[in-house]
Amino acid sequence: MSLSSDCLGIPELRGLIRRLPRVFLAHVPTPLDYAARLSRHLGVRLYIKRDDATGLGLGGNKVRQLEFTLGEAVRRGADCIVQGAAEQSNHCRQAAAAAARLGLDCYLVLSGDARGGSRQGNRLLDELFGARIERVETDMGQGIQEAKKAVAQRLLAEGRRPYLIAPPDSLGLGAVAFVDAFLELMEQAREQEVSLQHLFVCSCGATGGGLILANRCLATGLRIRCVSPILWEWPTDQRLAEAANTAARVLGLDTRVTPSEVDYTNAFVGPGYGIPSSEGCEAMSLAARQEGIVLDPIYTAKAFAALAAAVRSGEVPPGSTVLFWHTGGSPALFAFPDSVGA
């Protein structure tokens, strides 16, 4: 039976989440920090949700998501996991660390279609965590999913019990993790007596989808803007709505989000996925020099550039209370030294 989201508050949503298989990996709650110098610089009240500090394997948003995807892997009795993405993938690095924590073998299929191909940053950490790496020359969309599936099938034929981290499961369970994260944020905001008006997050999938769903259920009135780091072959708003709706189904909620309700921008991808942009590099330098915060040039710097641009254009009015959700990714910086200006 589906539940109507109209009658749900934080305890009810937590109750639904508690029914799902989960392994505990993240240091939570992550801090909700007031950024005093950046606030003064931008002319708004800026808070930063520090999911770069989730702990495991140098942290990031995916540690939260892996609590549910690997919870499902453990429930199914997997002895290894298969994940794959670009060479400098944060998700792969966090999956490798989580697999090590759980005593599972980790197979990573890494595509060399973006820059940052050196044995540095996330790629180096993958090795440190003991992941078995297979390189493929394919695109980041369907191509990489097919390559991951082929590795899982080979492992199965060898008598292994692989768990493949892939949509739609990873999308829905990843979004559930960010429903949970949103509840955490709401409690912190209440404790700190902060009334948030605008939220910016780098996402075109599970992270944003979960936040949108939880925001809808709790009817907070907070405006969530998802900043996409990539132009997929499918529309960004559809993907975010699909993530929200898959999570709703997993939780047994009858809530449905339509693409037209999704607030997103593709305007900060810059030269392309996996390639630093000049606006992003500027934003990365601003966060580092005003607050000592490390963003990464591929994801979070581009999202912070979107926030800064919205404030400067007046789209976010002066004096507004704004949250930047720092989704991590900092290790990738070491693979892109040229993104740091003098």
Ligand X SMILES: Cc1ncc(COP(=O)(O)O)c(C=O)c1O
Whether residue 168 is preceded by a cis peptide bond, meaning omega within 30 degrees of 0, is yes
Query: Is 163 strand, coil or helix?
Result: strand
Nearer residue to ligand X within complex by CB, 171 or 286: 171
Nearer residue to ligand X within complex by CB, 156 or 267: 267
Within 8 A by CB and 6+ apart from 167, the residues are: 145
Nearer residue to ligand X within complex by CB, 45 or 296: 296
Residues forming contacts to ligand X in the complex (CB under 6 A) are: 60-61, 90-91, 174, 202-208, 296, 299-300, 327-329
CB of 49 to ligand X, least distance (A): 12
CB of 228 to ligand X, least distance (A): 8
Rounded to whole angstroms, how far apart are CA atoms 42 and 278?
Answer: 19
CB neighbour class for 274 (10 Å; exposed up to 12, middle 13-18, buried from 19) = buried
What's CA 269's distance to the chain center, in Å? 16
Nearer residue to ligand X within complex by CB, 22 or 302: 302
CB of 317 to ligand X, least distance (A): 26
Nearer residue to ligand X within complex by CB, 60 or 270: 60
> What would the DSSP string read from start to end of 83-118?
EEEETT-HHHHHHHHHHHHHT-EEEEEEE-SSS--S
Q: What are phi and psi of 293, to 5 degrees?
A: -100, 135
CB of 206 to ligand X, least distance (A): 4
CB of 67 to ligand X, least distance (A): 13
| Residue 306 tokens, joined | 């979107």
Q: Which residues are catalytic?
A: 89
What's CA 205's distance to the chain center, in Å? 8
CB of 168 to ligand X, least distance (A): 13
Rounded to whole angstroms, how far apart are CA atoms 152 and 206?
Answer: 22
- Give the CB-nearest residue to ligand X: 329
Q: Alpha helix locations (H) across the chain?
A: 10-18, 36-42, 61-75, 90-102, 121-128, 142-157, 169-191, 206-218, 236-251, 278-291, 300-312
